[in-house]
């Protein structure tokens, strides 16, 4: 089992790079649900946005083949994690 800092705090992870059309969001959701994280992932204009209850989520996540993360920012969000019951792919925001 992977050690985690899962909490009611939520973190916004913003990624840029080659992330559209390579199954990145679905790989994130599969990994997050397998490890009982809560939150969302969606495509945004320049990449992917992940809202999750673990600041170190990407530490053990293996990106899908053909994807490439170029930049990453992580910041604490003011969203309350208790309102999430699972992890989902949500509609893209363009």
pLDDT tens across 4-14, in order? Answer: 455 679 999 99
Per the domain annotation, does 4 fall within a domain? no
Based on the structure, what is the number of domains in the chain? 1
Among 43-52, 57-66, 80-89, name the one with the lowest average pLDDT: 80-89
Question: Mean pLDDT, to the nearest integer, of 38-47?
Answer: 96
pLDDT, one tens digit per residue, over 49-79 is: 999 999 999 999 999 999 999 999 999 999 8
Per the domain annotation, does 85 fall within a domain? yes
pLDDT of res. 1: 34
Contacts 24+ apart (CB under 8 A), 60-63: 60/2, 61/27, 61/28, 61/31, 62/27, 62/31, 63/24, 63/27
Q: Which of 52, 62, 66, 68 is nearest to 13 (CA)?
A: 52
CATH code (residue 13)? 3.30.70.100
C-alpha–C-alpha distance, residues 83 and 45, integer Å: 26
Q: Considering the entire predicted model, what is its pTM?
A: 0.88
C-alpha–C-alpha distance, residues 67 and 28, integer Å: 12
Cβ–Cβ under 8 Å, residues 10 and 52: yes
Per the domain annotation, does 3 fall within a domain? no
pLDDT of res. 80: 74
């Amino acid at each position: 089992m992977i050690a985690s800092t899962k909490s009611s705090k939520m973190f916004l992870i913003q990624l840029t790079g080659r992330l559209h059309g390579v199954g990145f969001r679905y790989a994130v959701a599969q990994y997050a649900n397998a490890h009982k994280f809560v939150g969302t992932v969606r495509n945004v204009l320049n990449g992917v946005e992940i809202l999750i209850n673990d600041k170190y989520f990407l530490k053990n996540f293996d990106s899908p083949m053909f994807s490439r993360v170029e930049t990453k920012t992580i910041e604490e969000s003011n969203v309350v994690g208790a309102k999430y019951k699972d992890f989902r792919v949500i509609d893209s925001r363009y």
